A and B are shown apart, each in its own frame.
Chain A
Amino acid sequence: MCPASFDYHRPASVAEAVQLLSRPGAKALAGGHSLIPAMNLRVAQPGELVDIGRLDVLRGIRVDGNRLIIGALSTHAQIAASPEVQKHCAALATACSTVGDPAVRNWGTIGGNLAHADPASDPPTVVLACDAVIHTQGENGQRAIKAADFFVDVFTVDLQPGELITSIEIPSQSHRRMAYVKLPHPASRYAVVGVCVSMHTSGGVCDQIAIAVGGATAKATRATGAQSALLGSLLEAEALEAAAIAISADIGDQAVSDIYANATYRRAMAGVLLKRAVKAL
């Protein structure tokens, strides 16, 4: 409960934040729900913290045409409760409603969550399934990074020193049906495996589909094999079974093992959850 000392900055603008964050050893502080526990354990000892929590320009959830724009400082609770999110990306509302616990959701932010890129976190899986775009501001200007490119590895994302997530842009999924289902870890409540499905059917035939799986691998992964297995199908039992097998193969030897669950379990559960997610649509 004793973090190491650090210098604290509270920038008044994104530009100032970016400038401060480009210094060596500086970390951004928003909700702090990934960072502060690590600092309490002194696993993380950043020399400088840049508190972006008051940059109101990074707040807010709005719809712009067929795009949902979520400010980086939106809390999990705000996203879960947002009618806009529920309409345009229902699975993100679901995922955010399963992050941590109520108090964590009240203070933890989506931007911090994505930047931290815990492989077992819920929102990245949905963000990836929706082909979201992560908007950032850095010293060299703004970038729009596809979710597929943004998540690099365990706790590693495509953010340069000084670069800050400003918003997450999600193509509206309102014409699709979405589900996010997870098996929570009994202690941490992170996803042992989480699966997001976004699907469109026409006359019972699946003609658009996106599937992502989280928790099972070092970073959230698109299940391309499972997508192919369902695309064009009538979602009949055989197709679902094939998709379940395919998603296990999609994860393949990238599946992680830990003291709670081994890779075999995670691969199998991805299939189980995929079937459940499709049934929940």
Chain B
Amino acid sequence: MASRIFGSGIKRREDPRLITGKGKFTGDIMLPHMLHMVVVRSPYAHATIKHIDVTAAAAVEGVVAVYTNADMTLANIPCAWLIPNSNLKLVPHPPLAKEKVRYVGDGVAIVLAESRDIAQDAADLVRVDYEALTAVVNPEEASMDGAPLLHVEAPNNIAFRWIASSGDAGVEKAFAEADVVVKERIVQQRLQPSSMETRAAVAQWDSGNEEMTLWVSSQNPHIARFVVSGVAGLPEHKLRVIAPEVGGGFGAKLPIYPDEVLTVWAARKLDRPVKWVESRSENYTVTTHGRDHIEYVEIAATKEGKVTALRGKVYAGMGGYLSTAAPGIPTIAHGLMYSGVYTIPNLRCESIGVFTTTTPVDAYRGAGRPEATFLVERLMDKLADKLGMDPVVLRRKNLIPPFANGYTVAMGITYDSGNYEGALAKALGIADYDQLRKEQAEARTKGRYIGIGVTTYAELCGFGPSAVAGATGFQGGLWESAIVRVSPVGKVQVLIGASPHGQGEETTFAQIISDELGFPVKDIDVIHGDTSRTPMGWGTYGSRTTAVGGAALVLAARKIKEKARAMAAHLLEAAVEDIDYDDGKFFVKGSPDKFKTIQDATLMATLAWNLPPGMEPGMEASQFYDPPNFTYPFGAHIAVVEIDPDTGKVDLKRYIAVDDCGPQINPVIVKGQVHGGLAQGIGQALCEGAVYDDNGQLLTGAMTDYAIPRADMFPQFEIDHTVTPSPHHPIGVKGIGEAGTIASTPTIYNAVIDALKPFGIESINMPLTAPRVWAAIQEARANHAIGGR
């Protein structure tokens, strides 16, 4: 048998069109008689709208229409994660602001014109009379008495307050009785997701059939159809949503925004195609941001280093409105993960969602779990320091022992499988940890500041099952679906509900089918991102496409295989039980030379001239799959940094990542996902951060100010893996999209603090830019800490 396609790093099938410029992104779509839409946006973070005058704008030649909220009867943009028992305030979010604007960028009018230039010219002429109100950008301050109020429905700007606890009495007792307690205030700074393609939408109304087509740069076209049809008042079956090539999302193309709703509304109203493309400065002020937590966290332990409790209070900035998934992020996707990979018996998370006069916050790569991993790993390092213990030794004292089928942490969730020591040992081996520590000690004697950061992590991924969605207030399901359709000549169409956008599932899913059914990869086409062609699915996020959609696909393929086996048995005049299968061929046990290929079986099943009794014609299978549990990928990362004490610059010397996402379908693609995840997590640690002034103006509103990591910031990442299958997944896979981001931020942070140990520095707010590190060194020197030059 030829080498197995599953596990092989074949070249991506997506690439030929993308490397030749033939891939079609939403912005590439140009339709006859198309209008261009520009949204007039608030320059104020918080203001009352007194009057809008569109006269001058409407008079510009080439302008077809200018609309404000008064011209439309659209439903509010909904929030879709209504966390129970949190007193969540569902505040109205009209597609265009009505009486008030609540962040810089809040839409107040739309201009439709014959060209984008004209639309922009006219947009500049829309006169809005605002009465400025006081802004508030810090979520903790916004929750205090006397802070400016954004929504009358939400006193003290509190959107929700959620508590998860293993038992408050136990937590209190553990802290009261602890030998050691270590505390930290962590600022998870706000991040701008920065997909290279900004958002875009094109809507085309077919008035004859009363059908709408919406092309949108989205991670979840089916959810877009679900929500946009509702808001725009279109029958859902009359709205076709297509996500063509999508130039990155990272969570920020998961929410449903006013812009695509307005595009659809205007296309119908004017009966002409309408295109809207976001500029980068719009993208930075309007597309959701990530993180934005202020956290007060503490950990309790015995003097021997056994962790007995961990708790945190989180102020999570929501921005001006509740974005689609926003409330779920600092709660379900965050607080439930406070155990990390450790046997911590007492856990508590209190998470307070707070409105601020800023861009709404939603998912950003990892969404909630990076913040959780950061605080756990930060506290572990700080505790190790306090105990005078090597951070690896401390972790090993607390790691959950290897388990193959379920481990329930104190928060009540059950991890599927894990071998944390295995990953840690492998990473330490690659890094040569003991030698690194020696080199570090030696370097310190020479006035060089080398730091080593070690993180062990697990993440809650493969979002599902739907029962959990329901129990946690998520207004959707978390299953996935697949249809496998074999044509008479043996070519395979795979239709999936998920919507990959760079993750490579056109390739990996073809590998799954090839592995299951023996068709060559070239004969398999994976189709996604079109609600009219594909079955329903809930989108690509939360490292769930392969974990959940992949399972649906495997099970659909297995249905095909069983049908083909039955057909082959019929053709071979044998009993089904007597048919063996290998590499696309069915044969009677013991007679491998007497066989029918899966293509033969398909042709005969499709012709249906002579079917076995009871068999339906055709070779097609459909599968909906709702997983029994989340998956929990894990791993261990190690970073080595050196700090230039004169400038404060952090130089990343080495980065070792050992991740375990179960069996790897395509190891080259897995590594690529890790690389990209690392870059984003390292970006948070070292250079990225949205900055607002006190008036709520975004000061990092262009790529000249918001620092996206560049190539020269990184060494060659040293990537390896372990393989611990998920017990509940048909092929054991777990998901890898977010791992790199989740683990790398604390790894880098801990390495930097480790490097600065001679100065006695315990914390610096991220990003750890040169000026911030330098200032911390100066302050430490002024405080007569030991060390330094």
Contact = CB atoms under 8 A, between A and B. Distances in A.
Interface of A: 1-5, 37, 41-42, 183, 185-188, 192, 259-262, 264-265, 268-269, 272
B691 interface: yes
13 contacts: A2-B116, A3-B117, A4-B121, A4-B124, A5-B121, A42-B120, A183-B649, A185-B707, A186-B707, A187-B704, A188-B704, A261-B771, A269-B647
Given A2-B121, A268-B778, A269-B647, 10 more contacts: A41-B702, A186-B687, A186-B769, A187-B704, A187-B705, A187-B708, A188-B705, A259-B700, A259-B705, A265-B774
A265 B704 CA distance: 20
Nearest to B686: A186
A188 B706 CA distance: 8
Contacts of B116: 1-2
Nearest to B767: A186
B674 interface: no
A68 B281 CA distance: 41
A268 B687 CA distance: 21
User: From DSSP, what is the main secondary structure of chain B's interface residues?
Assistant: loop
B200 to A, nearest CB: 12
Nearest to B198: A1
A2 B117 contact: yes
- Closest A-B pairs by Cβ, 5 of them: A186-B707, A187-B707, A2-B120, A261-B771, A188-B704
A156 to B, nearest CB: 20
B646 A272 contact: yes
Contacts of A5: 117, 121
Contacts of B124: 4, 42
Interface residues of B, number: 28
Contact of A272 (B647, B687, B700): B647
A187 B706 contact: yes
A5 to B, nearest CB: 7
A27 to B, nearest CB: 19
A3 B124 CA distance: 12
B9 to A, nearest CB: 31
A1 B705 contact: no
A268 B702 contact: no
A2 B113 CA distance: 13
A3 B771 CA distance: 35
A260 B769 contact: yes
B443 interface: no
Contacts of B687: 186-187
A262 B771 contact: yes
A2 B280 CA distance: 12
Nearest to A190: B704
B647 A1 contact: no
Given A183-B770, A186-B707, A265-B775, A259 B117 contact: no
A272 B778 CA distance: 14
Contacts of A268: 774, 778
A261 B771 CA distance: 6
Nearest to A261: B771
Contact of A259 (B121, B281, B691, B708): B691
B704 A1 contact: no
B699 interface: yes
Contacts of A262: 771, 775
A187 B646 contact: no
B703 interface: yes
Contacts of B769: 186, 260
A219 B649 CA distance: 25
Interface in B684-716: 687, 691, 699-700, 702-708
Nearest to A273: B647
A211 to B, nearest CB: 18
Nearest to A265: B771
Contacts of A3: 117
